[in-house]
Chain A
Amino acid sequence: MTKFICETKNLSKKYKDFYALKNVNLTIPKGEIYGLVGENGAGKTTLIRLLTGLNFKSEGEIILFGHTDNLQYERTKIGCTIEMPALYKDMTASQNLEVQRIQRGIPNKECIADTLELIGLSNAGKKRVANFSLGMKQRLALGVALLGEPEFLILDEPVNGLDPTGIIELRELLKKLVKEREVTILISSHILSELHQLATCYGFLHKGELLKQISAEELNEECKRHICLRTDNIQKTTLLLEQKGNINNYSVYPDNSIRIYECLDNVRMISKLLSSNGVIIDEISVQGENLETYFENLIGGRKNV
């Protein structure tokens, strides 16, 4: 059994001299909700298009369900929504689902009613999709993606057009799918606060490059409010914090910074303690981020390199 549902190795997409994606090494573990974060034009949709076979890679490798060959077959295990909902506007919701059911050779006709129930469109009745709101179209597009119980769901901006209730319902539905059907989900969204409540791991794309992949736990750890401390002597600093400051909840990072997770409102005390014992402080500040600021700092940091 493969550990990763989807992997890319040095995946690039080039248009003439412009790289829309450059050497992307992505790994999506089975059973995770992978949040793809990036501003407009970062390459999120390009990456999704490459994974789903709509566009062709210029360089690199795509591995789906552990296979690099016969990706067309592997894609039969994928359900997806890409950009705007792609639906037959002359048809009703159930007719749209029926087309997909026949096309994919799903024998069970009851899956139509079940899917409509799941996406909350049971009462859409004989209304044609042309008369649907954007939110209803998004739900139906998700329903189309869910038909045939795919192992891997790829959702490109699925909350666009959804009202707050719809967003909450979608979030709960996706969590339920992961829990009950062990579906793996790749989801891209501009609404980072929403993604933060859903994703279990993240990939940050910027100008076609995957800057970082990180698990939700690691991200929360990095975003946690803390006092960031840099001194000329780490050993002496930690000794002083523990023995004289009675501070034990801290971590030392490889970049020689110390993150203190207590006494957040008493920075002055820590500063005084260290100074009075001859430790030179290079930096001391209270930090802590949400996903938006984390992302901004991440791409901002890159900009300054």
Chain B
Amino acid sequence: MFNQIRAEFYKLFHTKALYLTFALILAVFGIFSIGGQQQFVASSSSLDETWKIGETVGFLARAYSDTAHPLIEEIIRTATSYTVFFWLIVLIFSVIFFSREYTDSTIKIAIASGQSRIKFFVAKYIVISITSIFLYFSFIMIAFIIECAKFNIPIQLFPMLKIAGLNCMIMGAFIGITLMLCVIFKHTAIVVGAMSLFTFSGPLIYMMTWDNMSTQSWRVLTYLKINPMYYWMNTCSYNMINNLEINILIYFVGTVIITFLVSAFILRKQEIR
């Protein structure tokens, strides 16, 4: 297993996928550097457009109630908002890094020389997760520190680390779903298309329904609760409602276990073309 993980890291550092990911993250950082108030998509129950914490969900960057003295929660919200693009970046990175083994048929060599299919999958999951989470974590921490420095606000690491940790768990679940679809479909375009629809429909539905969730049908609620963006929308908006931390932990553990079991079952039965 250790050898498999080492081999995956070696592949990672010698393929285009990582460098493409770096380039995309730099582009996101470029957007962050532009400055100004940037609400990408937001929904608020308050009418004064101050985007109050707890009354708003969305991707709110620099939506400060006081532009001279922003709250630490608003800075955290800003640092995490830009990572809306990360879901697409991580999706593309995961799919390219995983599915290329099928498209280039290199998975054949691993299986035919006695490598375990399950270890192969787990090693991929670990390497993709570590890389994605490291890049994600680095980005939001850098953005957080820059924003704190800009407003001369003392850096409070604990609330930021808490949000970062929760988001990393959501990302772990997101990668699990993505890799499960890669195993099922083995086709880059299908997986990217399906995951994009699934991922980005979540926030849109949630923004339409978040202030009257209790009236929604079980179908809508189920769709939202299995969608990683439902959880991320709340953390990135600093909307820490209804034991969100516990819900994210349950979502993370549940999704990782279920996607692993499904992927392992399919991999064991799958004929490699």
Q: Which residues does A use to contact B, with CB under 8 Å?
A: 49, 52-56, 72-80, 82-84, 86-91, 95, 98-100, 102-105, 144, 150, 154
Are B114 and A76 in contact, CB atoms less than 8 angstroms apart? yes
Measured CB to CB, the closest approach of chain A to B64, in angstroms, equals: 44
Across the interface, do A100 and B116 meet the contact criterion of CB distance under 8 Å?
A: no
Question: Which residue of B3, B10, B112 contacts A54 across the interface (Cβ within 8 Å)?
Answer: B112
Q: Which chain B residues border A55 with CB–CB below 8 Å?
A: 271-272
**CB of B4 to closest CB in A, whole Å:** 6
B15 contact from A56, A83, A91, Cβ within 8 A = A91
Chain A proximity mask over B261-273: 1 for CB below 8 Å, otherwise 0 = 0000000010110
Which residues of B, 93-108, contact A by the 8 Å Cβ criterion? Answer: 104-108
- A90:B272 contact, CB within 8 angstroms: no
| Residue of B3, B104, B112 touching A80 (CB-CB under 8 A) | B112
Tell me the nearest residue of chain B to A85, going by C-beta.
B105
- Closest chain-A Cβ to B67's Cβ sits at a distance in Å of 46
Question: Which residues of chain B (1-21) have a CB below 8 Å from chain A?
Answer: 3-4, 6-7, 10-11, 14-16
Whether, in the assembled complex, B216 has its beta carbon less than 8 Å from a beta carbon of chain A, the answer is no
Given contacts A54-B108, A72-B114, A86-B109, contact A104 B3 (CB under 8 A): yes
Nearest residue (CB) in B for A86 is B105
- Docked-complex contact A88 and B113, CB < 8 angstroms: no
Chain B neighbourhood of A53, CB < 8 A: 111-112, 114
In the bound complex, residues from chain A placing their C-beta under 8 Å from that of B106 are: 86-88
Given contacts A86-B108, A103-B3, 5 further A-B contacts (CB under 8 A): A78-B113, A86-B106, A86-B107, A99-B7, A102-B10
Q: Which of B4, B16, B104, B271 contacts A103 (CB 8 A)?
A: B4
**Chain B: CB-nearest residue to A83:** B105
CB-CB nearest in chain B for A80 = B112
Pick 12 A–B contacts, CB within 8 A, sort by A: A52-B111, A54-B271, A54-B272, A55-B272, A76-B114, A80-B112, A86-B104, A88-B14, A90-B16, A98-B10, A100-B109, A103-B7
Q: Is B110 an interface residue, CB under 8 A from the partner?
A: yes
Count chain B CB atoms within 10 A of each CB in A83, A84, A87, A102 and give the residue with the most. Answer: A102
Q: How far apart sit A261 and B116, CA to CA, in the bound complex (Å)?
A: 55
4 closest Cβ pairs, A-B complex:
A76-B114, A52-B112, A75-B114, A103-B7
Shortest CB-to-CB span from A81 to chain B, Å, is 9
B115 within 8 A of A: yes
CB under 8 Å from chain A, chain B span 112-158: 112-116
A104 touches B14 (CB 8 A): no
